[in-house]
């Protein structure tokens, strides 16, 4: 099997499955994208995917289907998606070996 | 930053929060607010569809404040409570407007020299900042009404010639109105942005801005995505109102009688304005005026209108010529001309501009709205992370005073901002423990011919020989063109800084005059600078020698001392005079007379007091600065 272009941690996989089961519409998976915005260039986006697109890179890991936007693939190679549950807030983070810097608020990054 | 999963297409933009940022054109006659979404800017209107808010404020007797059309109503009954054209006073000090006092429609509050001017309206005293804040607050409310959400951030446009004080005043006004200013943008630059000129090829553009009461023309150069203002010019008292007056006079002259009453003039002006607007699209028409209770009809056609307005339009064209000349450009060097301001709708204006610049001007965006639309685009770019990074330039050079009243320019004029530049200065006297940093703005070589912005003292410099201390002076101009100056003594790390917020500003005509004079006097200035430098050098030499003599005069024989004293006397005389060569010769002579003395002092092991003349020079050349 080809090595996965990105991976997902156990905590993140559990969380995604939970969120997808609570969603009122069925989803084909989650779509990870990258867009140019924020003060440091790029920003990750995570959205529910209604359907697979022709050019999506598909990653199946720990029972979760991740659709990687083809434009984002080159930025995400080797990235692990993790879930953080802190006292005050929780959410997903990307551990991206390609990242060369983040902006102060962490909303955006550059490679 | 923790991310959440969003519904498709619903991922919020970073840093956007709930706040959109609007673009505001805070005009002399009219103001407006616009928003841009996905690169498409639009002007925000009130429920009645009006986009322009007249820049008029009324402070009513009951304490209420009316803005715009509501204020205009007050004008009929209580004209003394209504303020218009407040923009002309932004950032002006009491000294600046003293000479205007008689011609201003408002009573000025007595203020100390150097303070910002204030107006007396009934029992209230208001500053131009407060008055402008009322307009900005009205614009904010209009934006909130149209967008259905709170508006707290804006890009505000200012004339290219606005100085530091006027820009600061504009920012303060916005803050008072509850708006955070993301950036101040030059009006011609905003107009250029609205036409997307920043996306095109590099080139030089003229922006012709004829508003209700003011005319401005600016030459912009787009280079590597940066707009530089190469030159500006204009007439602060020429605009569409003058067109109305010319037409009204024509009507009144056609129905002879006693001098018309104020009401009759008002009525005639109203008809004149209608005629002007109609004849922008039609070829002829007929308008009514009242005279001695009788109404009379006055036909007017396009040709007559052009004849009436001709002299006024020609004045703007002449100014365009001057500004091009200032920028050392010919019409062929321009890549385009942009029309701004409602009065550019007049066909004669469009025709003459096209003829003068030898090309049809860009005029398809509503000339009343184009500046606000450009500001909105910039606001979107700043909040939504676009590629358009707009830079502006410093309008005048910034520097500090050095010995002899000379100016050392630290940031030259037309430097792209934001920018920070530093230079090292040193002490002038032995044991000098403080240094005065005097910040000046302008192009001339001498301090007294430039404008003083701020002055502060860096104290606590450890006692050292002259020239040994190293004081780093840094000038930082932020993206809004506001200046912070800091001075730091390198050995102790002691630092002083000021944010330059001058209490009053430079009127545009003074700015223009200063620029002109700097060109006119370039040669004289240089001569004077050289003379002053020679004097400073002479005085340094005398001072250094004095110190050396005080310590080590025992090293000299009586004849040697008298030789030196003769040379000293000669130099003292020379520095009083106007002859630079004479001073330089006297310095050389004194240098020669002291050579042995300096050598002997060295030999004497007084290296710690390295102050022989020649050595002093070497040292200073190495330090490279004066202070």
Task: Sketch the domain layout of chain B as residue ranges.
Answer: 18-195+365-387, 240-309, 394-519, 523-623
Residue B94: what pLDDT?
Answer: 72
Q: Does A22 touch chain B (CB under 8 A)?
A: no
Residue B3: what pLDDT?
Answer: 82
Taking alpha carbons only, the member of A110, A105, A22, A43 closest to residue B12 is: A43
Residue A85's alpha-carbon distances to A32, A90, A97, in angstroms, are 20, 4, 22
With CB atoms and an 8 Å threshold, state whether B4 touches A43.
no
Residue B156: what pLDDT?
Answer: 96
B523-623 has CATH 3.30.930.10 classification? no
Indicate the pairing of strand B53-54 with strand B56-59. Answer: unpaired
Distance CA B611, CA B603 (A): 13
Distance CA A44, CA B236 (A): 51
Candidates A46, A84, A94; nearest CB to B5? A46
Interface test with B, best of A25, A66, A107 (most B CBs within 10 A): A107
Residue B616: what pLDDT?
Answer: 47
Among B209, B368, B480, B619, the one annotated catalytic: B209
Known catalytic membership, residue B25: yes
Q: Which residue of B has its CA nearest to A107?
A: B1
Known catalytic membership, residue B533: no
Distance CA B6, CA A23 (A): 11
Residues of A in contact with B10 (CB under 8 A): 47
Q: Does B38 touch chain A (CB under 8 A)?
A: no
3-state helix, strand, coil in chain B (%, to 5): 45, 25, 30
With CB atoms and an 8 Å threshold, state whether B15 touches A16.
no
Distance CA A98, CA B204 (A): 41
Whether A16 shows a pLDDT value over 70: the answer reads yes
Residue B311's alpha-carbon distances to B243, B318, B359, in angstroms, are 10, 10, 22
B240-309 has CATH 3.90.640.10 classification? yes
Q: Which residue of B has its CA nearest to A23?
A: B7
Residue A93's alpha-carbon distances to A46, A63, B16, B169, in angstroms, are 10, 19, 20, 44
Domains of chain A: 6-110 (2.60.300.12)
Residues of B in contact with A86 (CB under 8 A): 2
Known catalytic membership, residue B235: no
Q: Quick check: B114 and B92 in contact, CB under 8 A? A: no
Average pLDDT over residues A56-63: 87
Among B25, B96, B235, B445, the one annotated catalytic: B25
Average pLDDT over residues A77-91: 83
Distance from CA of A30 to the nearest CA of B (A): 8
With CB atoms and an 8 Å threshold, state whether B4 touches A92.
yes
Helices B240-254 and B262-278 cross at an angle (nearest 10°) of 110
Taking alpha carbons only, the member of B375, B306, B327, B328 closest to residue B217 is: B327
Q: Does B259 touch chain A (CB under 8 A)?
A: no
Residues of B in contact with A36 (CB under 8 A): 385
Candidates B2, B5, B384; nearest CB to A37? B384
Tell me which residues of chain A, numbers 70 to 89, contact chain B at a CB-CB cutoff of 8 Å. Answer: 84, 86, 89
Q: Which residue of B has its CA nearest to A35?
A: B13
Residue B22: what pLDDT?
Answer: 94
| Residue matched to tokens 């002490």 | B427
Q: Which residue of A has its CA nearest to B386?
A: A37
Count of CB atoms situated within 10 Å of the CB of B262: 7
Q: Does B1 touch chain A (CB under 8 A)?
A: yes
Intrachain domains B18-195+365-387 and B240-309 with the same fold: no
Candidates A30, A37, A86; nearest CB to B5? A30
With CB atoms and an 8 Å threshold, state whether A37 touches B5.
no
Residue B307: what pLDDT?
Answer: 95
Q: What is the CATH number of domain B394-519?
A: 2.60.34.10
Residue B34: what pLDDT?
Answer: 96
CATH of B18-195+365-387, one of 3.30.420.40, 1.10.150.110, 3.30.70.1400, 3.30.70.20: 3.30.420.40
Taking alpha carbons only, the member of B393, B378, B411 closest to residue B227 is: B393
Q: Does B12 touch chain A (CB under 8 A)?
A: no
Helices then strands, counting H and E runs in chain A, come out as: 2, 9
Q: For residue range A34-44, list pLDDT tens digits in order.
A: 775 544 456 78
CB pairs under 8 A between A and B: 62
Residues forming beta bridges with residue A60, ordered by sequence position: A65
Q: Does B385 touch chain A (CB under 8 A)?
A: yes
Q: Does A8 touch chain B (CB under 8 A)?
A: no
With CB atoms and an 8 Å threshold, state whether A50 touches B8.
yes
Interface test with A, best of B4, B6, B13, B14 (most A CBs within 10 A): B14
Among B96, B134, B138, B187, the one annotated catalytic: B187
Residues of A in contact with B7 (CB under 8 A): 47-48
With CB atoms and an 8 Å threshold, state whether B1 touches A105.
yes
Residue B512's alpha-carbon distances to B47, B316, B340, in angstroms, are 42, 16, 21
Q: Does B6 touch chain A (CB under 8 A)?
A: yes
Residues of B in contact with A89 (CB under 8 A): 2
Residue A109: what pLDDT?
Answer: 59
With CB atoms and an 8 Å threshold, state whether B8 touches A49.
yes
Q: Does A27 touch chain B (CB under 8 A)?
A: no
Q: Does B605 touch chain A (CB under 8 A)?
A: no
Where do runs of H (alpha helix) occur along B327-385? Answer: 347-357, 370-384
Known catalytic membership, residue B209: yes
Residue ranges of chain B whose pLDDT lies below 70: 1, 9-19, 95-106, 111-114, 224-225, 385-393, 395, 414, 416, 479-481, 500-525, 604-627
In this structure, chain A runs to a length of: 111
ipTM over 0.95: no
Q: Does B17 touch chain A (CB under 8 A)?
A: no
Residues of B in contact with A53 (CB under 8 A): none
With CB atoms and an 8 Å threshold, state whether A39 touches B1.
no
pTM here is 0.56
Q: Which residue of A has its CA nearest to B10?
A: A47
* R_g (Cα) of chain A, nearest Å: 14
Q: Quick check: B137 and B178 in contact, CB under 8 A? A: yes
């Amino acid at each position: 099997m080809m090595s996965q272009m990105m991976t997902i941690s156990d905590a993140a996989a559990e969380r995604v499955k939970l969120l997808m089961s609570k969603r009122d519409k069925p989803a084909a998976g989650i779509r990870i994208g990258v867009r140019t915005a924020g003060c440091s260039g790029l920003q990750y986006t995570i959205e529910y995917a209604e359907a697979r697109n022709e050019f999506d890179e598909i990653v199946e890991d720990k029972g979760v289907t991740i659709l990687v936007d083809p434009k984002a693939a080159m930025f995400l190679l080797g990235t692990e998606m993790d879930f953080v549950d802190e006292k005050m807030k929780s959410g997903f983070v990307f551990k991206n070996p390609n990242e060369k810097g983040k902006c102060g608020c962490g909303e955006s990054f550059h490679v | 930053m923790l991310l959440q999963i969003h519904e498709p297409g619903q991922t919020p933009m970073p840093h956007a929060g709930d706040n959109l940022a609007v673009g505001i054109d805070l005009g002399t006659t009219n103001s407006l607010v616009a928003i841009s979404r996905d690169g498409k800017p639009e002007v925000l209107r009130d429920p009645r569809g009006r986009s322009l808010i007249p820049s008029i404020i009324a402070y009513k007797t009951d304490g209420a404040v009316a803005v715009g059309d509501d204020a205009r109503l007050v004008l009929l009954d209580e004209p003394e409570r209504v303020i218009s054209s407040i923009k002309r006073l932004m950032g002006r000090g009491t000294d600046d407007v003293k000479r205007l006092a008689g011609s201003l429609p408002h009573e000025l509050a007595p203020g100390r020299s150097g303070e910002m001017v204030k107006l007396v309206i009934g029992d209230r005293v208001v500053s131009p900042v407060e008055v402008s804040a009322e307009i900005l607050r009205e614009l904010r409310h209009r934006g909130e009404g149209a967008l259905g959400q709170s508006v707290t951030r804006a890009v505000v446009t200012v004339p290219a010639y606005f100085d530091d004080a006027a820009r600061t005043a504009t920012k303060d006004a916005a803050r008072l109105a509850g708006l955070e200013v993301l950036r101040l943008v030059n009006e011609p630059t905003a107009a250029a942005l609205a036409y997307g000129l920043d996306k095109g090829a590099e080139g030089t553009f003229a922006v012709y801005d004829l508003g209700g009461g003011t005319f401005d023309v600016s030459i912009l150069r787009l280079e590597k995505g940066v707009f530089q203002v190469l030159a500006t010019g204009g007439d602060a008292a020429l605009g569409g109102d003058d067109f109305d007056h010319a037409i009204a006079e024509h009507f009144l002259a056609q129905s002879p009688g006693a001098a018309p009453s104020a009401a009759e003039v008002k009525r005639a002006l109203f008809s004149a304005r209608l005629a002007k607007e109609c004849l922008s699209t039609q070829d002829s028409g007929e308008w009514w005026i009242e005279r001695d209770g009788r109404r009379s009809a006055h036909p007017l056609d396009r040709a007559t209108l052009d004849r009436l307005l001709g002299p006024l339009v020609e004045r703007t064209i002449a100014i365009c010529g001057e500004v091009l000349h200032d920028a050392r450009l010919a019409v062929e060097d321009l890549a385009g001309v942009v029309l701004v301001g409602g009065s550019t709708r007049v066909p004669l204006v469009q025709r003459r501009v096209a003829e003068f610049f030898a090309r049809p001007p860009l005029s398809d965006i509503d000339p009343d709205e184009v500046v606000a639309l450009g500001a909105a685009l910039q606001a979107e770019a700043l909040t939504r992370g676009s590629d358009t990074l707009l830079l502006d330039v410093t309008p005048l050079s910034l520097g500090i005073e050095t010995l002899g009243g000379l100016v050392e320019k630290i940031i030259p004029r037309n430097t792209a901002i934001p920018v920070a530049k530093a230079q090292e200065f040193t002490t002038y006297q032995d044991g000098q423990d403080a240094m005065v940093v005097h910040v000046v703005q302008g192009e001339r070589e001498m301090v007294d011919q430039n404008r003083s912005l701020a002055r502060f003292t860096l104290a606590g410099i450890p006692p050292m020989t002259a020239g040994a201390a190293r004081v780093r002076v840094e000038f930082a101009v932020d993206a809004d063109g506001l200046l912070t100056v800091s001075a730091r003594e390198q050995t102790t790390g002691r630092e002083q800084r000021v944010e330059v917020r001058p209490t009053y500003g430079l009127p545009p005509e003074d700015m223009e005059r200063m620029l002109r004079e700097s060109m006119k006097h370039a040669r004289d200035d240089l001569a004077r600078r050289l003379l002053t430098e020679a004097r400073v050098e002479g005085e340094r030499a005398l001072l250094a020698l004095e110190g050396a003599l005080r310590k080590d005069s025992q090293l000299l024989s009586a004849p040697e001392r008298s030789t030196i004293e003769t040379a000293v006397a000669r130099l003292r005389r020379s520095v009083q005079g106007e002859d630079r060569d004479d001073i330089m010769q006297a310095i050389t002579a004194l240098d020669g007379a002291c050579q042995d003395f300096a050598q002997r002092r060295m030999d004497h092991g007084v290296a710690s007091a390295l102050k022989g003349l020649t050595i002093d020079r070497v040292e200073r050349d190495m330090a490279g600065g004066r202070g």
